[in-house]
Structure 1
Amino acid sequence: GNIWLGTDIGLKRMDNQGQSIQLHGSYERDAGLRVSPVYSIYVNTYNQILASCSDKILRIDGREKGKVEKIFTLFNGLSSSHIYCMVDDENGNTWVGSNSGIITIRNDRDLLFNYASFGYSSEVCRLRDGRLLWASSLGLTVFDPQMVKTEGHKSALRLAEVWVNGEQVSVGKSLNGQVVLNVTSNQQRDFVFGAGNDFFTFYFSDLQYGIMQCRQAYRLLPDEDWKVGELENGVSFRRLPIGDYTLQVKLIYPDASESEVVEIPIRINTYWWDTVWARFGYFLAALGIVGIVYGYVERRGRRRVMHRTREMKLREKLNLTKIREEQKREMDFMRNQLLKRFMEELRTPLSLIIAPLKEMSQEQNLPIGVLSQLRVAYRNSLGMLDSCNQLLSIYTQDSLNGKLKVAPYAADKFMDKVVFSVNELVRINRIDFKYDKRIKKDLEIWVDNQRISFVLHNLLTNAFNHIRFSGMVYFSLQEMMRDGVRYCVITVEDNGKNQVKITNDALQLDLTGAELGYDVMEKIIQLHHGTIMLKSTEREGTEVVVELPVNKEVLQNDPNILFVDPESLDESGDTSVSAEEKSREVPVPEETVMEMAASEPVSVQREKKKLLIVEDHKDIRLYLKMLFGKEYDLLIATNGQEGVELAVNELPDLILCDVMMPVKDGFECCREIKENLVTCNIPFIMLTAKVEDEDVIHGLELGADDYILKPFTPGILKAKVHNLINGRVHLKQMYTQLLMPPEDGNSDASSIEEKVKVEDPFITAVVKIIEENMCEADFNVKKLASELNMSQPTLYRKVKQSTDFTIIELIRGVRMRKAAVLLKQKIYAVQEVVEMVGYNDIPTFRRHFVDAFGTTPSTYPNSETP
């Protein structure tokens, strides 16, 4: 039902589909052929389409509409490249007329036969009796195809010539020391080819001459596949493996009949040193050499074994202890890593428990019974989180052999910081917490901030664990003088009923009644040249006393101590509040934080911002949807790769990303987003359970704007997201000031330019390109996008998101700012300034200048407008 067209530019197929017509082509290109004009098209008995071109015949399966089955060219038997007519005979063979003769194609075997010329054959038809009538330059020719194929004597096949290495072999001629033919080639019964004669060709003949052509088929046993070729091309072989073969050759006539098979035995030999016996001799010689060498080495080895046996016994005893210690260290390390990983993973579900419980426990309209149960759940979840943090801190103190980073800190502020860190546990549990400071206000202690903070926090959380979060804990700080050295004495006392045990391994005992991490705390205090003592009595309580030297002179001669600058203690909170008030202090409710965030101008909140959440944990994604769904348009990605793609395609206003994810983690996601010029200005917050300082530093070095640990406080997270997005709004306002012309000596404009360079390198690059091409009047958005290697839609969205300007407005603003600067200098005329900023006509420039500055270019230099 298709129409096939032969054109000057190849074969085409036209499909009729209702009211529309589709044209298909490229058959030659799909088959790897050169496109050439088509002379004729014919459909044979097998529903195959034959298309004759100027240099080939293509055969296409009509059922598959486009598959080229066979190609006949001048290189595989076609006698002429100018073919104008085709017809099938009664046996399904296709006859072809060309300018050099008549050709028949055996469609069942893909064979082609050429016949003597009847002149230039341009038309042909098949008569009712099966004969073919040809119109040629010599007149009309008619013949019976069946008679043409069967006429002639079919004689047997004979071997005519043998060629070796490109030379014809004659009887008795020696080639590479071997006589190949002892008699004539047709009379020799078998052939032997030795080394060096590995390329040979057999030429066969049917001893006939006429218009009937034949093809030869051959195979080399044990290969059972027949190959068909031209009789005059012969049968060639090169570098056959050593062995015995049988060459079988037969003729294939145009009527599909075959001659008798001629068999020629062939043997391939090689050099004597490459025979099987020679190789066996090589093997025996090598085996003998190996035996001799082995015997010599064995004798020397026996002597060495006697001496080494004694040495090995001593080494084994010496190394056995080292191996056991190394195995113990490896087991401890693997166990610590497993526990640390478990604690990190535990923080994710804890964040899903604590955050909703905290929000629900602050609801006032819930029934008292439900509210009481919620607070119990919230209190116990905080205890579970504190235990998790305590164990995680113990097993991350693995670098005690490193140097202490000691700095001076105010003792009262340092202790206030520790007390503030446990404020939430004290508030939510029924703990009678007393905090007493009996020291001078200006007392300084020289300590390692992180390690001593760990010790004090661990002492307090252990005390809370002793009383099971329902009892009395006394925390005191005082001075003491002993042996001429001043000490800062820290006492943590509780009224727990159970006697506390000291354990070096938190996994070997039940956590109840165990002083977790005591060995780590003892090592840290000893490194500070201090002491720690524990006293525990059944049914009376536990008391831990830590003594730290105050004077710097005690630590100066220690090579393991490095003196550094003190770190900030701002996170400790307001130290002017009393300890009792701190124990009852309630953190700022999430609602208050949200009210503070909502106090921004209405114009900022009028349009919803896009928030991209990259998180692999299903429940965390669900909770973040509930937390931000009403205020923001959310984009969700389940791994870092999806997050990068969504960030590039959607350009969100902020990205909230987890760290530990499949495919691509949060660090790699942050790096790609911050290195991409299109997405580098998007605020990025990392949300993770990895608490090590190295992970936090690594995330911030990659460009993350904030790093929030799980479990997180919902109000704080929402406030940080809100503030970062508003920060981008304030940056957009800076761009408006950036396009205003600077006053003489005005440092604010320079500071704004420097701030823009730091905050948004993309806009800085855009402004730089505009300034470099300002004098070109034909500089437009297309050229700007090309300079930045971006598409125009992406460039438009990026500029609009960062500055609230369109690209055209940004280009015009940069030009107007430059024009204002030039006019203020009073050096150039208005016409010169117009050309310098890339305008072709003054009226357009004047209109844009008035829109930007409210005055004409001629009056601007003398006006008060900056």
Structure 2
Amino acid sequence: MKACVTIFLVLFLLPTRASDTIPVHAYGDDAHDFMKLSRKCGILLDPSGALTIEDILRDSSLQFYRLGDRALPPLPFVSWNRIRVTNTGTKTRHDVFANYIYSDSVWMYTVDGKQVVAEGLAGGAVHPHNKYFPNVGADFPFSLAPGQTRDYYFRAKYVRSTPYLRSSLHLLTIFPGKTYRDWMDDNKRQEFFYAGILCLCGLVSFFMYTVFREKIFIYFGTLMLALAGYFLDFYNELGALFNFTQEIGSYVRHLLVLGLVGSLFLFIKDFLDLREQQPAFHRPYLGASGLLLLVILANTVFGFWIPTPVISLGIIGWSLVSIALIGYLAWRGSAAGKILLISISFLCLGGLALLLSGFGIFDTTLTSQAFKIGVLLFSGILFYGLFDRVNAIRRAKSEAEELNDVKSRIFANITHEFRTPLTLMLGPLEQLLSESTDPQQRKLLQLAHRNAERQLSLVNQLLDLSKAESGHLPLRATEQDFIPFLKGAVYAYTSLAEQKNIALQLHCPEDSLLLYFDREKMEQIIYNLLSNAFKFTPEGGQVTVTLRSQKEGIKLDIQDSGIGIPEHRLQHVFDRFFREEAAERGNFEGYGIGLALVKELVQLHRGSVSLQSKVDVGTTVTLTFPLGSKHLAAEQIVLTEAIAPRVLPPLLPLGGRGASQLPLSGGRGGAPAAAPASTPQPDQNTLLLVEDNADVRAFIRQRLVPKFLVLEAVNGQEGIEMAILHTPDLIISDVMMPDKNGYELCQTLKTDVRTSHIPIILLTAKAAREEKLEGLETGADAYLTKPFDARELAIRVDNLIQTREQLRKRFATAIELKPEEITANSIDQSFLQSALHVVEAHLAEENFSVEDLAQALNMSRSNLNRKLRALINQSSNQFIQSVRLQRAADLLRQRAGTVGEIAFQTGFSSTAYFVKCFKDKYGQTPGTFLESH
């Protein structure tokens, strides 16, 4: 059997004269193929759609004609066709008229001797269930007895504009009835067979996603379902299944194309891993695919009319680009590229042939068969590739689990090794503390002992985390009253809340609540969360603990009004060793242990933990625990607990959000900027210590206080403000601090003319070469890594101050001021040059004062005096006089006048005073200086 329907038939019609003669089609028993009636069929256009079949039969003046190049009336309009059919055979014919593809509704009238003997309705606007053949077009069955002749009139209404509207007006074909039905049944079986295979592949792919959680299975499953829908849409099987019209079917078809292109693009991108493996191709391919999808989306969803050939050409172009990209990667040796190239070639070639058939280049039936075969080959080969990927995922998962086990064992062993030296540290420290009577010595011993205990606590949590992740951490749950336990845990933070001026609230609606829990592990959960809440809540904030009893369990909320966590980091806060390093949030850098341990311990109780946070609003951690004991194994339940009630101190918050320790004595950072630690002594140098950890500040201060006047700041912003206010001789700053870090502090002070001369030493735990260079690039004069040697720090401080002092003494008596020799800092050089220019510009003005100089430099008199003292060890008055004398010496060398004239030119009103000042600076009188030059 030849092709069934030629969808896009190009007719070369020549206009003929009008005729009232009905064209006749005669055929007999030998007709087995479809018969085109296009050239026999006349047409009558009815722009108003007012004519009826009675009008056509009654009015002989209505002429049918060949359309030719006549203009079509505006939509909507009606066209009439007619044909006379004669059965010249010996058997009754049962055939089918087909098909007005682009018409919205078609009436067929069977006329015998000017009388209408039968009517039929079909068309795109008619629901498939109301048509004899539930397909795309308008097909009408008819029967003719041997020797019988009948006239058939067709009234077609057109509402929608299509590129093939003109050619479809004459499109009429007769199909032998049995052949047509066999062909329809065969197509239907093929469509459902192919669609069933594709749906099965899609469902299997979705199931694989639930197992492996790989998005590529979602993309492949969506692609298979879209292809299945596209198959069923070939001959309106979707319309027949869901009873929608051709207009809705056109919309559904566009959605299917959108799904096909979108899912195929996502599948290709993921299968080839373009983002990671081929970043150079990722963005261009993403842009081209996004543009095509946008065009299809605009046409389908938002109703922007875009010509069908434009969309078809866009899909063809995108397909060629995809094949070229896949081919290139396959040529470069990509295994995924090779599999995809083989599979997608069949799909794209069949798809291209199908699209080209829309232009009349290929027969539709042949191209649809080619497309179906290509899709099956594509699906089968790609399914092989997906299973290969599944095996790779399994291997990678197995290797990762094995590697994780090895890492956990090594981690546990190393952690155990930490406990021995810590034990040996704590023992002697406790003995020395009990024997020592020196207050200064006891302070140092207490500091060391407190931090050794914190380190031991950290090691213990590391061990617990390792055991929990490996499933070796036992749970010893006892039925206890949870309310007194919770109150004791929360109220342990009362003093810390008062110290940091944070409102601590506990809401317990019940007086008693029995719960199965491991007391020691529950303490770790609550203390970690409360420590984090206090750590990140600023002064004047609030921490609220709320307990709610529900039918199946309890819900515990720990809420703070702290700095919050950025949304993109929320999914990682419970990951082991996740570290947040966000300069804009205060440079908090966490160990990443506490919250990971919290999650493991909560899950050990068969509970759940979730976290909600908003930047600058606060964070809420919600814990849920089931009531009763059904969720626990028998070995996890103990009848009595031999552990005495205890309250852990609010130690170091070890959650993924934290960085520095929360000291017992002062909270994170302690009080605001500290006052001088000792009474100022004459000529005593001032040192500013910027450090957020109170213990570290106390340790450094203890080593420096006897020799320096030490000021303290608890964060970078506070340090900047104090440096500008006090202009210290040297600054020691930590790098990782809230508000502003050490790098920002250094850069700010080194670019401010008021503080650019101050030497800065940066202290940090980051020892990488790049991080040291980053610190030095900001202008730091020295960079020490933690743990640092206190003696080395003291030596660095002494050397920097002595070097600065030597420079000041040298240039205090220098005959000539040269900014480039005084300092290498461009800010200080520019300041000195500006000061020199200002004084020289007003050199002859006797009344030019320090206030005038300060105003010209946009500085206060006190800041100007501090700056000049720091750079050249001269007061502002001394500086002005030095510049006058330096200029006078230049004039004397040039013999530009007498001593009295030069004194007047350089702003001295008294020659005698000029001579005295000149002799004090240069060791000889102006006259002697003039004679020697």
Q: What is the TM-score of this pair, normalised by structure 1?
A: 0.33
CA radius of gyration, larger in: 1
More strand, by proportion: 1
